[in-house]
Amino acid sequence: MDLLIFDFDGLILDTETASYEVWSDIFKSYGATLPITEWAACIGTTHRAFDVYAYLQSQVQQPVDVKEIAQQHQDRTLKIIDALEPRPGVLAYMSEAQKLRLPIALASSSDQNWVMRNLSRLNLAEHFHSIRTSNDVEKVKPDPELYQLTLITMGVKPHRAVAFEDSPNGIKAAKAAGIFTVAVPNPVTRQLPIEEADLRIESMADITLRDLLHQIHMSQK
């Protein structure tokens, strides 16, 4: 393999569980519920894919203060996320990739400012040879454009890359780009259908990068 491509939200940093849990609490305060099956529409893609405010209003059968709720969600979620560390095994994979002289790229449906804000806090930006976000494409995941752009940028053929994703939307994007895809679900996406991935591991801490790449190589023979 010539390239590793990491997703960001939910894969490197579990922002998705934090966001969903805060939304669930907000819904509960209104006597409503937010099923993961509904929220899944915007996991790994743009939040415009699911109107959470309209869904809450349909649940409570009355108008809600969108601006106040949005601020409440943002404040509570950021407080949690700003205390998060990378998911288990992520740093080990980055270190091992460096030793193997294997470049790492990042392909995220999130806004560039959001991604860089978090990478900078965690001192991870320097690990990536390419960082592509929603700012660089017209269509985000599940469209393959982010992955296709990353491959072009790095000069790597699809069959020579491995993508690490946690969500159905991300997996669909990587697979549509022709890339071998490893699912590494978090507590939220573990509840979603991710069978389209070529391989699934529960955590990067469960298997070394070298052993994983060997497993991928053997599966492709």
Count Cβ neighbours within 10 Å for each residue of 5-19 and write b for 16 or more, e otherwise: bbbbbbbbbbbbbbb
Residue 2 annotated as catalytic: no
- Pick the catalytic residue from 2, 7, 14, 166: 7
Angle at which helix 52-60 crosses helix 15-29, to 10 degrees, equals 30
Alpha-carbon dihedral 193, 69, 28, 80, rounded to 10 degrees: 70
CB count in 10 Å sphere of residue 187? 12
- Pick the catalytic residue from 2, 9, 14, 75: 9
| Start-end of H helices in the chain | 15-29, 36-39, 52-60, 66-81, 90-99, 112-121, 145-154, 168-176, 209-219
190 residue type, one letter: R
Angle at which helix 209-219 crosses helix 90-99, to 10 degrees, equals 80
Residue 9 annotated as catalytic: yes
Please identify every residue annotated as catalytic. Answer: 7, 9
